[in-house]
Structure 1
Amino acid sequence: MTSSTFTCTSCDELHDGPPLSFAFPAPAYWNDEVAEAPGSVLGEEQCVIAGEHFFVRARIILPILDSDDEFVWGVWISVSEQNFHRMSELWNDPARVDEPPYFGWLSTQIPIYAPTTINLKTKLHTQPLGTRPLLELEPTDHPLAVEHRTGITRARVRSIAEQLLH
């Protein structure tokens, strides 16, 4: 699917896109209060809250069935302290692709899904240097997990854009 323009059914205006990805800037648990807490840091790819909760950025890919493109959710995953440190040790090591998947909990609330996407079980797959990890959702009947497994249509991509752009 090529990025062009579309008339939005929410506002009846012309928009660029629809976008093929949406990303969230921080885990759902990040706020002004935790940002001030000792041991809290929010980086581009990693986040620590109060030195006790550890997060990494990842991608959930939804195949677009009637296109050669993919739709990507940029999300945050909670991982154990041990796995966070292991991932950090291997951050710049090309051999990181040989790591087994890390267990994690989805820590992003994607607002168009009900029930909540918070705490869906995941497996985090490291990728080659310079590429964010891929996320595999536990195969449940949650709507996000279903779309992750079975894919979405171009019409669904447009619907997502219409919901999130307003």
Structure 2
Amino acid sequence: MRGLARAFLLLERVTTQAALAAACAALLVAFVAGAWQVFTRFVLAEPSPWSEALVRQALIWMVLLGLAGAIRQGALVAIDIARTAARGWLRRVIELVILAAILALFGVLFWFGWAMAERVRFQSIAGLEVSIAWGYAAIPVGSVFAIVAAIAALLEPRRDEAAGST
């Protein structure tokens, strides 16, 4: 079982790093497209028809891909007084309930995100002329990365959390 957990954690490290790299790339795309939009609007006095839509899509992807890293690092806002105060088996039960809630949330997001991406695949994003399904695809893709990161966070808690759980 430990070998399987180790393999899963290795997979998670790779996938979360890939998701974070892609989120950083999306932020760069949003920055460049936003700068282009400002330049064309205020310097050339003729706004770019595609840059605003690209910024919006890039930011959506950035947030949903970045969730995996935030979950893995414990950086999401949490109300964890009970978890912090609990010790031993009670703390483990609380952590399992939290994991179940995360899995349920991202499972629902995956399901409906996938359904929405399929439903709108023949519509296009105004200004970009690409399928709007590419924007909606961020929901199921980000959900998968978040689920993997949440399971890994339970298997291998952050060091500062692990130190306080004695």
* TM-score, with length taken from structure 1: 0.24
Q: Which has the higher contact order (CA 8 A, sep 6+)?
A: 2
The structure with more strand, counted as a fraction of residues: 1
